[in-house]
Structure 1
Amino acid sequence: MPRSLDSSAWRTEAAATLALAAPLILTNVAQALIHATDVALVGRLGRDPLAAAQLGINLYTAFLIFGVGLVTAAAPMMARERGRFRHSVRDLRRTFRQTVWVALAICLPFWLILWNTAPILIALGQQPALAAAAQSLVRPLMWGLFPYLLFVVLRSFVSALERPTAALLIAVAAVIFNFAINSVLIFGLGPVAPLGLFGAGLGSSITNLLMALGLSAVVMTDRRFRRYRLFGRFWRPDSARFAQVWRLGLPIAVTLALEVTVFNAAVFLMGLIGTDALAAHGIAIQIAALSFMVPLGLSQAVTVRVGLALGRGDKMGITRAGWTSFWMGTGFMAVMALLLIAAPRLLISAFVPLDDPSFARAIPLAVSFLAVAALFQVVDGAQAVGAGMLRGLHDTTVPMIFAAVGYWGIGLSLGAGLAFWGGWGGLGIWVGLATGLAVVSVLMVARWVMRDRLGLVVL
């Protein structure tokens, strides 16, 4: 890691990174808890509803993450502009508006596809009964897609201004609300009939809508944000900025989609192996996803910190911002790896009853999956923060290629081979995923190390 003679500058960077990253991390944890709550509640319905929910949520998540990646372009664009001109208003507003336009444009075809969840899952070889149950969850859930993307764009705006606390408070409130409304809609209460999986999807969509409305209200009324008039003349076209969002955001979207969809593909492969493997994967992936929220938050923070330094023309600031977040992220994931090894059944018990006979085979499988997850925690954190470091430099196309080669060319191919030809079953899929993550992390970090030689730092 490059060193600076001024150790106080590194301490200052660490403090600034933590101040920005902590609310982002907690916001990510809160958002992950919304999905984890849904899994935990649906798990009380039994093994088959949980398996169906995994199929539906994973199909929905593939489109959601692509959209999130696309609108994530707003963060480095806004950060670089603020680095150049501290009090810039017009350009931040342009970026916000056109990113929301992009979000709406991408939602229209996504809604059409998700409406046909059952036929898609059957075409992928899933059991018709599970596919039909998954569709009952996705159809109400999909309408929360645009509100969620709007929330992400608003969060990028407040993060670029280095004031992400409002997004955190709203996300925490959303966790509580989501648990309450989904408990009622899934299981019923008083005059409200139990809606099962449909209720889980409906409750999550309502939660997403309230999150978007809440953060919109904040940016329109808080004196620190309202001068930007983000929603003023929202209909005004801006083809140049619209195209710029697409150019920067599309490689990010594809990169994130490649990572997430390889896990989604793993879910469908688990469905071919059996319902027990599918349910066990659903439990293990939720636990791994919760720990991933920390490096994800650091990735979002480092994109802003590197972008600000890039806008200022501060080469050493770029170095400090990148490495500070990197070591924080990998250090945390090393600690999480120890926890996954030491207490897997305790973690699993948060999602399903350990004494439920319908999970008698799924729980040991989940324990074995978590053992593999422990092995890839550090490399998962490294690739996530590494991608954020490069994103701050507006370097998104080559990382997309890294993701395609690592996640799909190596990870999924190896996993499928071990699972079906090597006789490893679901464990083989997880070993393949871990290998793919390791390859991508090495490539991302190597590119960051060579950033000057590759001409990525243009001051």
Structure 2
Amino acid sequence: MTTLSAHIRATLTLGLPLIGGMLAQIAITLTDTVMMGWYGVPELAAVALGGSYFHVVLILGMGFGLAVMPMVAAAAANYDRRQVRRITRMGLWIALIFSALVLPLFWFSGAILLALGQSEIIAGMTQSYLRIAGFGIAPAVVMTMLRSHLSALDHARVVLWATLAGAGLNAGLNWILIFGNLGAPELGIAGAAYASVGTQALIALILALHAGLHRDLRQDTLFARFWRPDWEAFAQVFRLGWPIALTLLSESGLFMATMVMMGWLGPNPLAAHGIALQICSATFMVHIGLSQAATVRAGRAWGRGDQAGLRLAAFAALILSGGMVGLTILAFVLIPEPLIGLFLDPADPLRPEIIAMGVSLLLVAALFQLADAGQVMALGLLRGAQDTRMPMIYALVSYWGLGLPAAWVIGFPLGYGGPGIWAGLVVGLAFAGGLMMARFWRGPARMTGGAAPA
């Protein structure tokens, strides 16, 4: 495979199921947001805040799952199925240990949110949601590990179908449990939480059955003698994974911090922020899917020491991502009102105010599409080359040293409110994207391969 067009086709072949799976995953959160918007604005604000809180915790566990992806891809490129099994199995160990350790963060979330300046009512409602939804953290992290394992072995389609099944289950359970349909009790935000846990458990189960029973994967005996530790492989996954986890946490934490700032402005700006963020997340899933495809393809090239293949894989992924950026900017600029309106009850008296706020946020979001896509694509390529520590430092400096202070200054002292807070996101993401892209093209893209840069 020597031409750019061939690499684009190969990236699409791998990336489309991953994109579909990521879109189906975000559809689960979108369903929660839409249905809670129909149920009530305070409940919508609580679920939006709770969803962001859950995601910040989940993102730490996802870092170790994303470490599994390039390691499995490199081992598979060298036909080392024993290493494939060792890496994924210890990744699952890390997932289960992590899930047990973070449960208290959900149970005592109300006190944490109060300390972050949220109102007592919103903090209490959010805690009620998270005390149930928090039990979904284990299947959610396990799902991430198995998704990475299967994607690296060219079994990404099952990820798509499993996530679509989960999205369908989530929509049905939400409709029944939130509103009390089909004779069920009306549970409101608790119903959304129960639906989320059931959905995550279903997806994890489908992926586990496929990984253990599919004829092409049965040879890996992934779950045989699962209780036996392999501390060498455990350490390998942990060493590569913790910088990824902190990188993701720094970005996700930046978005969570902006959610907290929006909460200082009141429940209506917080609801508008939650809606706009859901829309941005939906479009961003395309870039994440392409980034994961880039990680797998870069990981294989890196494992083989194929520098030319690594560079072509990068060009292919960046071209595809750039095309999506252009389409997204057009949508955010031309049709922001209909996009925001999808999430609100037409009869809600607060609808015009929230739509106006959401439109102003989407117009700012159009500005950071290129920066956000650039940084996630650079991260995917760097992970493929197993280069994770310097990107972590870049992320911490960009998001917390620059982006968060900019969001506060523009939003509050300068008086621009919600759009100003989002402008701070643009600053942090653009700086991070520039640093990480330079890191890839000056580092792994110029090397022969086989070892991560220092």
Q: 1:399-427, CA deviations, whole angstroms, 9 ceiling, x for partnerless residues? A: 11111111111111101011110011111
Counterpart Cα distance in 2 of 1:422 and 1:456: 49
Matches within 5 A, 1:87-98: 88-98=80-90
- The secondary structure found in structure 1 opposite 2:247 is helix
Residue 252 of structure 1 and its aligned partner are, at CA, apart by 0.4
Contact 2:99 2:141 in 1 (8 A): no
User: What is residue 47 of structure 1 aligned with on the other side?
Assistant: 41
Contact 1:295 1:330 in 2 (8 A): no
> Which of 150, 153, 161 pairs up with 1:158?
150
Equivalence for 1:3: none
Contact 1:299 1:387 survives alignment (8 Å) = yes
CA distance in 1, matches of 2:82, 2:398: 39
Whole-angstrom distance in 2 between the partners of 1:354 and 1:255: 40
Deviation at 1:455, TM superposition (A): 5.8
Q: Secondary structure at the match of 1:235?
A: coil
How many angstroms apart in 2 are the aligned matches of 1:157 and 1:109?
A: 23
1:372–1:431 contact (8 Å) kept in structure 2: yes
8 Å CA contact 2:33, 2:343 repeated in 1: yes
RMSD: 1.4
Give me the whole-angstrom Cα distance separating, in 2, the residues matched to 1:107 and 1:216. Answer: 17
Unpaired segments ≥5 residues, structure 2:
none
2:309 counterpart of 1:320: no
Residue 310 in structure 1 maps to residue 302 in structure 2: yes
Residue matched to 1:290: 282
Cα deviation, residue 354, structure 1 = 4.7
Structure 1 residue 111 corresponds to structure 2 residue 103: yes
List gaps (5 residues or longer) in structure 1: 1-5
Letter matched to residue 430 of structure 2: A
In the TM superposition, what are the counterparts of 1:136-175 in structure 2 within 5 Å? 136-175=128-167
**For 1:429, which of 397, 421, 429 is the aligned residue?**
421
CA contact (8 A) 1:67 1:253 kept: yes
Are the counterparts in 1 of residues 75 and 81 from structure 2 also a CA contact under 8 Å? no
Q: CA deviation at 1:458?
A: 3.7
Deviations 1:327-371 (A, max 9, x none): 211221121111110000111122113552123322101000000
Whether contact under 8 Å (2:250, 2:400) holds in the other structure is yes
Q: 1:399 to 1:138 in 2, by over 3 A?
A: same
Q: TM-score, normalised by structure 2?
A: 0.97
- Aligned match of 2:63: 69
Aligned twin of 1:406: 398
Work out whether 1:228 is the aligned partner of 2:220: yes
2:198 is matched with which residue? 206
From the superposition, tell whether residues 453 and 344 of structure 1 become closer, same or farther in structure 2 (CA, over 3 Å): closer
Structure 2 SS opposite 1:234: coil
Q: Match for 2:25 among 31, 48, 52?
A: 31
1:74-102 CA-to-partner distances (Å, cap 9, x unmatched) read 0011011112x23x221111011100111
Distance between the aligned counterparts of 1:388 and 1:319, measured in 2? 13
Query: How many residue pairs get matched?
Result: 451
Give the Cα–Cα distance (whole angstroms) in 2 for the partners of residues 394 and 339 of structure 1.
35
Asked if residue 102 in structure 1 is aligned to residue 94 in structure 2, the reply is: yes
Secondary structure, counterpart of 1:357 in structure 2: coil
Give 1:279 shift.
0.7
Q: How far apart are the structure 2 equivalents of 1:354 and 1:398? A: 48
Offset from partner CA, 1:238-290 (integer Å, 9 cap, x none): 11111111110000011111111100110001111111110110010000000
Deviation at 1:438, TM superposition (A): 0.8
What does residue 80 of structure 1 align with? Answer: 74
Name the counterpart of 1:215. Answer: 207
Instruction: Indicate whether 1:362 and 2:349 are aligned.
Output: no
Query: Counterparts of 1:277 and 1:142 in 2: how far apart (Å)?
Result: 26
For the 8 Å contact 1:141–1:202, the answer to whether it is kept is yes
Secondary structure in structure 1 of the residue aligned to 2:223: coil
Letter aligned with residue 225 of structure 2: R
Shift of 1:9: 2.1
Tell me if structure 1 keeps the 8 A contact 2:32–2:192.
yes
Question: CA separation in 2, counterparts of 1:432 and 1:456?
Answer: 38
1:249-268 mapped onto 2 (5 Å cutoff): 249-268=241-260
Once the two structures are superposed, what CA deviation does each residue of 1:416-442 show, in whole Å capped at 9, x if it has no partner? Answer: 011110011111100010111111111
Letter in 1 for 2:51: I
In 2, distance between residues paired with 1:20 and 1:58? 29
**CA 1:189–1:354: 2 relative to 1, 3 Å:** closer
Is 1:331 aligned to 2:340, yes or no? no
Cα distance in 1 for partners of 2:265, 2:123 equals: 16
1:137–1:197 Cα contact (<8 Å) kept: yes
* Distance across 1 between alignment mates of 2:293 and 2:179: 39
1:395 aligns with 2:395: no
Whole-angstrom distance in 1 between the partners of 2:131 and 2:428? 32
Q: SS where residue 139 of structure 1 aligns? A: helix
What code does the residue aligned with 1:25 have? Answer: I
Task: Choose from 372, 382, 387 the match for 2:374.
Answer: 382
Q: Measured at CA, do residues 36 and 453 of structure 1 come closer, stay the same or move farther in structure 2, by a change above 3 Å?
A: closer
Amino acid at match of 2:71: M
Letter in 1 for 2:74: R
> 2:182 corresponds to which letter in structure 1?
G
| Aligned positions of 1:265-284 closer than 5 A | 265-284=257-276
- The question of 1:244 aligning with 2:236 is answered yes
The letter of the residue matching 1:440 is A
Using the alignment, how far apart are the partners of 2:19 and 2:336 within structure 1?
23
Runs of 4+ deviating beyond 6 Å: none
- Looking at structure 1, the residues matched to 122 and 151 of structure 2 have their Cα atoms a distance apart, in angstroms, of 40
Please tell me whether the aligned partners of residues 64 and 238 of structure 2 are also in contact (alpha carbons under 8 angstroms).
yes
Q: Does 365-374 or 9-18 show the bigger shift?
A: 9-18
Could you tell me which amino acid in structure 1 is paired with residue 215 of structure 2? R
Q: 1:133 aligns with which of 125, 129, 149?
A: 125
The whole-number CA distance in structure 2 between the counterparts of 1:291 and 1:366 is 16
Report the AA paired with residue 62 of structure 2: V
Taking only the aligned residue pairs, the percentage that are identical comes to 40
Q: Say if 1:185 and 1:199, in contact at 8 Å, map to a contact too.
A: yes
Residues 339-358 of structure 1: pairs in structure 2 closer than 5 A: 339-358=331-350
